[in-house]
Homo-oligomer: A and B are copies of this chain.
Amino acid sequence: MNDGSLLSLLLLAVEAGATLAFALSGLLEAARKRLDAVGVCVVAGLSAFGGGTLRDVLLDRRPFVWVAHTWWLWALLALCIGAMAFLRARHFAPTERAMQWPDALGLGLFSASGTQLALAQDLPGIVAVFMGMVTATFGGVLRDIVCNEIPRALSDHRPYALCAFAGGWVLVLADHFALSPAAGLLLGAAVASGLRIAALLTDFTLPKWSSGSEGP
């Protein structure tokens, strides 16, 4: 197997993992908000495919992953139905913390794949990093907007987009120093997810905006 096909296989695996992770986070969030069964599927779908689809629209890439490989849509449907049946049988009430772990995983994987795809189009480093951030955050932002909340990514005072930002630069540097793209991809994803998980575990918060009057 040559390097090119190894990379595209790895990219596919990373995308699949990220999509699955975000679908799970959307599913848990929709369940918390007590949406109906269809709403759960739609929110899971928006979380899973929203970021990647916006990235493809911005990069003008067609066909979308869920058009080229329709089993993604079937898998999402099966995942939602299975998860709903399972959660109901186990009387499992999803908490806000439960969705943080798949979310952190998806963040790293999507930011790495988005940056990689933009670099493959020879876009400048900052744009590639930005595309990675869009891919990584937009699904979650859509999920939160549809559930009528201020997107967590912007307001929880823990680094989120910043982790995607850092992970993206790892890929740009790897590309610049002619590291193998596959290694860069894995390294970038690990950095982004790792930073996010570290922030969650240590409860690290960004410097607060505190100008003048204090308040909620």
Query: Which residues from chain A sit less than 8 Å from chain B, CB to CB?
Result: 30-31, 33-43, 53, 57-58, 60, 62, 64, 66-67, 70, 73-74, 84, 87-88, 90-94, 123-124, 126-127, 130, 137, 141, 145-151, 153-162, 205-213, 215-216
Contact B141 A38 (CB under 8 A): no
B-side contacts of A130, CB under 8 Å: 66, 73
What are the residues of chain B within 8 A of A62 when measuring CB–CB?
60
Chain B residues whose CB sits within 8 angstroms of the CB of A159 once the complex forms: 38
Would you call B150 and A154 a contact (CB within 8 A)? Answer: no
Task: Let me know if B206 and A88 touch, CB within 8 A.
Answer: no
What residues on B are CB-neighbors of A60 within 8 Å?
62
Contact call A208/B36, Cβ cutoff below 8 A: yes
Other A-B pairs beyond A34-B208, A73-B127, 16, CB < 8 Å: A34-B209, A35-B154, A36-B154, A36-B205, A38-B160, A39-B155, A41-B161, A42-B137, A43-B154, A57-B57, A67-B127, A70-B127, A73-B126, A73-B130, A84-B209, A92-B212
Q: Please state if A141 and B150 are interface contacts (CB–CB under 8 Å).
A: no
Report the separation of the CA atoms of residues A151 and B37 in the bound assembly, to the nearest whole angstrom: 14
* A37 near B93: Cβ-Cβ < 8 Å: no
Q: Give A74's nearest chain B residue, CB to CB.
A: B126
Some 28 contacts from A to B, beta carbons below 8 A apart, are: A34-B208, A34-B209, A35-B209, A36-B157, A36-B158, A38-B153, A38-B159, A41-B161, A42-B137, A42-B153, A42-B154, A43-B154, A53-B58, A57-B57, A57-B58, A58-B64, A66-B130, A67-B123, A70-B127, A73-B130, A88-B209, A90-B211, A91-B212, A92-B211, A93-B213, A94-B211, A145-B145, A146-B150
